[in-house]
Structure 1
Amino acid sequence: FNHGIITGALFLLVGVIYERAHTRDLSLFGGLSTKTPHYYGLMMVAGFASLGLPGLAGFWAEFFTFRGAFAIVPYWAAFGAIGIVMTAVYILWRIIQNVFLGEYDPHKLHHWTTVYGEEADGPTDMALFEKITLWPLVIGMFVLGIYPTFILNYFNGSAVSILAYIQSLYS
């Protein structure tokens, strides 16, 4: 459930910038945090939720996964934790630094449009309909990150049944 909210928001956010720049080449971007502050803020929340930052929806999935994995196969769990750290480093370095905090160079990317297809001098921030689409997902990330029992109670019965079935196969 959390994955669907977070990944859905990330795909929508990629679509927001693609509609304006018409490229997926990250090396062409830079300085978007000053040009598109609303986009930057929403992308940071969704990105950090995807990494499992405490207080956001992705944290609980990471927490329960690693809690269970460390109890059964600690070496593989440690390997997975290293992978998460490497992913965080990549995201922080490549995306945040190069795309958002780097210097904006208008000569790198010559063709910008608004979301409506009109020519623009540079990147434009999100339109109202884009914000309205994304804000419920971002609010959901915070709600499920702060109050996870809201959704955990819903799935608990199914998880217990599946676990009992799996345990019966090995006993």
Structure 2
Amino acid sequence: MMIIDQVRTYYSTQLPHTTAALEDPESHFQQLAEQISQRVEQIVTRLAAEATTPGQDFLERVGTLNTVRAQALEAALAELLYVMPPEIEDDPAPSATERDLLVMQQEERAVDQRMDMEPGSPEAIEWDRRYPHLVEEVNWMLADHEELTEAQKREQLAQILERQDAARAHRQQ
């Protein structure tokens, strides 16, 4: 399935209100599909160098590159398309608590993605720009904390999470 078909299908089935509000849905779908395609190529370039090995025969190399492309497409779709949660037709508007939980779940997935990125890479830099309120948590998780007791670790993480909550509240104002 072509990327634009995936974008169109997701919008029409999962985001009907958003789709209806678009002035030119096809143009929007095309632009988003192009962004996803570019992101796929960036990820493929990075992963292909790591995944292929000298001495692979042709079929092994094709299989490796097909796997890399599938992984890159999955990551790009998650990053650029599926980040928009589905609109639920029958349910009432989510409560503030439900919205907060959804945001926290999305951010948790984003932190997991960032942990897999090479520090200083273009994708890590872009992630840090996109999620500045989560950078402190990622840096803390990447650091060595063996000298701390469990209580000290919990306290530091609690303080980081409090600062994230304050940053979220400030952004919503």
Query: What is the TM-score of this pair, normalised by structure 2?
Result: 0.29
Query: What is the TM-score of this pair, normalised by structure 1?
Result: 0.29
Higher relative contact order (CA 8 A, sep 6+): 1
